[in-house]
Amino acid sequence: MKNILSDIQKVILVPIHKEGWKFITIFTVVTLILAMINSYLGILGIVLTSWCIFFFRNPERFIPTEEGVIVSPGDGKVNSIEKNVKVPEEFDFDKSINWVKVSIFLNVFNVHVNRVPIEGKVERLFYKKGEFLSANSDEASDLNERQSVLLKVKNDKTVIFAQVAGLVARRIICDLEEKQEVKTGDIFGIIRFGSRVDVYLKEEEIKLKVIVGQTMIGGETVIAEFV
């Protein structure tokens, strides 16, 4: 019984990402105003406020401790796995390198807090303005607004990951700084309100651990491991 109560408490008292509090406050104030006008409008406001709290939830994650594993930077579903792709144009790499891109689509009900996929040092950050196509479309990685991160890990290996805005998402938050040391699973940002994250890995360096359609848990699910 004690364990059941503890699990219920974790669900109800889940932490909220700092970006969410201003929206929760706005939704709450609007709900109070609507409730004074009409009780049915008040109920609608409560539903929307509850969704807002749900959207900005930041649940505890259990980060893998094995060396060389690369975890998902976000919750969602693997939308595609592409081989022999080019990295984002802002990063100048040898064209002969074969990259694998794993794309994870986040719907509006997924946790949108983003986590660092592996321990390393932030070598470069690049923000690019763009369109707001549906995040599960093939063109989204190249055409949509995005925040790309180049991460140097042990043995001079490289991981690139990107936050990509979607049809509804209009704000990318990235708290990383260049030359910053980060650990696997560290929280580094959030995307509002529906989006995708892309991870680029050198094909010869890794062994993939996921398939298309698989559900990801940010900071926990292993995407690949270095060989």
Show the 3-state SS of 113-181: EEECCCCEEEEEEEEECCECCCCCCCCHHHHECEEEEEEEEHHHEEEEEEEEECCCCCEEEECCCCCCE
| 195 is annotated as an active-site residue | yes
Q: Name the residue with tokens 């700084």.
A: 177
Neighbours of 128 (CB within 10 A): 16
The answer to whether the CB of 71 falls within 8 A of the CB of 185 is: yes
Neighbours of 210 (CB within 10 A): 18
The residue from 72, 141, 148, 195 that is catalytic is 195
| Active site members | 195
